[in-house]
Structure 1
Amino acid sequence: MRRTRAPTASQIQNPPPPPSSTKGGRIFKSSFGHALRGKTAGAFGPDLAKKLTQLVKMEKNVMRSLETVAKERMEVAHQLSNWGEVADEDVSDITDKLGVLLYEIGELEDQLVDRYDQYRVTMKGIRNIEASVQPCRDRKQKIMDQIAQLKYKEPNSPKIVVLEQELVRAEAESLVAEAQLSNITREKIKAAYSYQFDALREHSEKVAIIAGYGKHLLDLIDDTPVTPGETRAAYDGYEASKAIIQDCEDSLTNWITANAAGLDLSGQDVPMNDRGSWAMARSDDEDEEEEERADVMDDKEDLDSDDNRESVASSARVNGNGEARGRSKELII
């Protein structure tokens, strides 16, 4: 799974974005940088854009943290594999395979950073519009203040007429800017959080897939206690562990958003009775045949249930002499 691979079905359907801008050119790499961005964000710039500027900077801290987690997860995967290398055969094989799965999670977290950046960049678009609208508001407010001041000090000043004409133009410009801000805000907030939730959904479901196969790897370890001097049974799970890793890779490669809603991972968590009970993933044709058999059984059960309801309803309406008594009521099952 660590080797260079062809694009997955998800990447073909939704091409990955360019690498995140937060991955290079860092000035402050420590927690000091996090604190500095959190406290100074929004301290400068137009008032209208200050809150969103702070949000964008805080999300940058989130992305830095995700990047750190991804790198450290990959290092942990390597260390786990190194630690288990000198252990018994079963522990050595399983820790190596677990290292592969953990490394894959680290790569998924690294990909999440890139997709998360799409959300952040889109939110910056709203911030830029807010910053451009602020001067229109300021100009309109300034003219209104000047008119109010002149009417108080010089009620008959000819400048009042000129300023009122400027105010009309400023209000027209402000209306256009405010409408643009309203439209773009709604458009971009939907796009931005669609990027974020799509990225989180793909990441979470793929991690869940890896976790399910990881549990099956653990089932290959024989944890039956042995007495001193007793020899543990020879490990024979190499082929099963390879099959688990291959099935996991196939599941990740074939994952697409369209199939995510109906994905049921509960079956992965059923423990295996023995180390050799792992079965390779079934093909789509086999799954369709199983669904057809289930549909036939459901139809048969529905017919039997309808017959039983009719029999009960008839007996409820007819007495021992074959006479119908009372009102005919609909039987509710």
Structure 2
Amino acid sequence: MADQAVALRGLRKSFGSVEAVAGVDLGIADGEFFAMLGPSGSGKTTVLRMIAGFETPTAGTVELGGRDVTRLAPFERDVNTVFQDYALFPHMSVLQNVEYGLRVKKVPNRREKALEALATVRLEGFGKRRPSELSGGQRQRVALARALVNRPRVLLLDEPLGALDLKLREEMQVELKAIQREVGITFLFVTHDQEEALTMSDRVAVFDQGRIEQVGTPAEVYERPASAFVAGFVGTSNLISGEAAQAVLGRDGTFSVRPEKLRVAPPEEAVGDGEHSATGLVTEVVYAGPATRFVVDLDAGGRLIALQQNLQVSSMDVMGLRGTRVRLVWHRRHEFAIV
């Protein structure tokens, strides 16, 4: 990949007998918003810490802008990190917090640069306040401004939205992406929240047990997962295998189809060209406002979950389907084989 901001080659990290990162090769382009997604203990945060210089790899190399920085100290790398707890100095004003790194490096025009950084994160006029006088979202923006003010080549974000409530977190997801586009800096975002990764990133690396399972755009990872783990971790996925695969699809193997690709229809409904279907009993109905989730036990064995938008139905309409027989219908192009 040309113009790589980050290149990881054969990266490994062991803590005693535990191999936290088991051989990671990855390239991240300049100006890319890249997410490392995975459950706790999957190795994503350890990879970020090795890029930042907080951990030394057991093997492999870390390159930033084509320069090998594997053995360099954190302050010798052209990166900054934003953490979940923000780590703001409580005795300093917002402006002083943002200026701090510039003052340590004796950068001229510190006040002007700090004010510009605050404007970038939409905090004009907040410079005189203390962190204790800010909301959680505002403190997160201050931490972001402090990291951006040095204009690093790569900004590392270690689950920075984890402490925010749901509504604010969703707002900040959109805001972070807008800021990244505005400043043009490579953002490397670590999260266990698949919605965050899909919402904000240009590409996603899905981690499991110290390895990368798949790298791709959000659409590629969601629509064409490379493994059963990715299919199950990134969104909800139905797996069809064994006798059910043979009975419903006419072939062996394990296949997956997303819940929103399934249409709930009467059991007698005819199936169109290019479609597959399976009949079964609705065992559970979950009404969630915009959509309803149906749990269907198939006659052929196994269980599928269907997600249907509530376009012209009410909660009374859908709740009455529990205990009835239905046919689930989907197009063949929406099913994919799982290796």
Higher helix share: 1
Structure in which a larger fraction of residues adopt strand: 2
Please classify the TM superposition score into its range, dividing by the shorter chain length.
Answer: under 0.3
TM-score scaled by structure 1?
0.25
TM-score (norm 2): 0.24
